[in-house]
Amino acid sequence: MKGYKRAEEVEALTRLRPCYNVSGIETPMFPSVTFHFKGGAEMALPEENYMAPAGWKVLCLTIRGDNLPVISSGPSIILGSFQMQNYHVEYDLQNERFGFKQQQCN
């Protein structure tokens, strides 16, 4: 990302990538992330659900790929605890469905 310096030492420790040193940047800004699901559902993530602090003035992307060869349905990612924060998530295994609704979880 233009204007952001990679924090490679943090990447080596956390195994998250990319990580950026944001010191000197008052309000760091990153591209928006929206997942588009079959059937038309969309899940737009707030920045705190995909960029996490990892040390002093360092932010890391918390979305991980599977690092497997691409299959016909496309590459996959892992939706983990960071992405699901402040979402009500439901897994319907019998009907092979995944449901979600954004809501504050206090």
3-state helix/strand/coil string of 35-104: EECCCCCEEEECHHHCEEECCCCEEEECCEECCCCCCCCCCCEECCCCCCCCEEEEEECCCCEEEEEECC
CATH, domain range 5-102:
2.40.70.10
Q: Where are the domains of the chain?
A: 5-102
**pLDDT value of position 72:** 56
**pLDDT value of position 32:** 95
DSSP one-letter code for 17: S
Residues in the chain: 106
Both tokens of residue 3?
Answer: 């204007």
pTM equals 0.79
Q: Is 100 left (phi over 0), alpha (psi -120 to 50) or beta?
A: beta
**pLDDT value of position 19:** 96
Tens-binned pLDDT, residue by residue, of the chain (106 aa): 788 999 999 999 998 999 999 999 999 999 999 999 888 999 999 999 999 999 889 999 998 766 655 555 666 677 788 899 999 999 999 998 889 999 988 7
